[in-house]
Amino acid sequence: MSSLSKEELVRYHRQIILPGFGMEGQLKIKNARVLVVGAGGLGCPLLLYLTGAGVGTIGIIDFDTVDLSNMHRQILFDSDDIGKNKAVVAKEKLTRKNPNVNFEIFDRVLDERNASEIISRFDVICDGSDNFLTRYLVNDTCVKQGKPLVYGSVLRYEGQLAVFNYHGGKQLRDLYPEAPEAEDVPSCSEAGVIGALPGIIGSMMAEKCIQVILGVEIPENELMLYHTFAEGINQIQY
């Protein structure tokens, strides 16, 4: 297990002094390998907080490029990044935030040809993708490999959050057995999304990921629904 440098002891001091966290918790985070699928609305805050927390190795997979329409919610990017690959830009900016973190970039589509090999490299998988084909591919691969999966999604005013396949817990298909047809579910580009919502859900995903790394107890088989303008937070058991 790695040790912490003097610089890291200062950088992570506010975490290390937490009751039940300490040096042991920080070393677990430093030695963890986390894959973030999607560097968009959910991925941006998720990546920022995982980087700030000191996760030792973070994989970023995203084939897309930065677009002007991303600016209201994808907080890692600015206007000068338009047209550049999101994963590449994310690595550049996050490295400046915390040079202690090692980033592995996959600027390609995650598909059936490469999912197994890429996911096998990491301990915890965080899915912030924006389509059901990718979500089910990530879920099924995690189930086959026994990887815990932190799942988030957003649309319009509502976000969802769950931890699948953790300590024998259930998976995405236990909640939604089959993916809906693409034409039956609008995307954010079609239906819209309130800008702050991905920041809220992405930050929650980061916290859940850290809990998984630390090995703490998480409520089993629970889906959180968060609505910005209506009923607030609801928990659904499945």
Q: Which residues pair with 36 in a beta bridge?
A: 60, 126
With a pLDDT cut of 90, the percent of the chain lying above it is 86
pLDDT surpassing 70 at residue 1: no
Quick check: helix, strand or coil at residue 37?
A: strand
Q: What is d(CA 12, CA 23) in angstroms, rounded to the nearest whole number?
A: 10
**Burial class of residue 217 (count of CB atoms within 10 Å of its CB; 0-12, 13-18, 19+):** exposed
pLDDT surpassing 80 at residue 216: yes
Domain coordinates in residue numbering, the chain: 15-237
pLDDT surpassing 60 at residue 119: yes
pTM, rounded to two decimals: 0.95
Q: What is the DSSP letter of 81?
A: G
Rounded to the nearest 10°, the torsion over CA 33, 38, 41, 43 is 0
Q: What is d(CA 45, CA 39) in angstroms, rounded to the nearest whole number?
A: 9
Q: Is the dihedral of CA 233, 237, 188, 77 positive or negative?
A: positive
Tell me what pLDDT residue 190 has: 72
pLDDT digits (tens, 9 = 90+) for 39-57: 999 999 999 999 999 999 9
Could you tell me if 200 and 152 are in contact, meaning their C-beta atoms sit under 8 angstroms apart?
no
pLDDT surpassing 80 at residue 185: no
Could you tell me if 238 and 221 are in contact, meaning their C-beta atoms sit under 8 angstroms apart?
yes
Tell me what pLDDT residue 220 has: 85
Instruction: Give kind and range of the element (H or E) at residue 199.
Output: helix 196-214
Tell me what pLDDT residue 134 has: 96
- Token readout for 179 is 């993916």
Q: Left (φ > 0), alpha (ψ -120 to 50) or beta: where does 125 sit?
A: beta
Length of the chain: 238
Tell me what pLDDT residue 182 has: 66
Q: Is the dihedral of CA 134, 139, 145, 147 positive or negative?
A: positive
Tell me what pLDDT residue 145 has: 98
Domain boundaries 15-237, corresponding CATH code: 3.40.50.720
Q: What is d(CA 157, CA 115) in angstroms, rounded to the nearest whole number?
A: 30
pLDDT surpassing 90 at residue 236: no
Tell me what pLDDT residue 109 has: 96
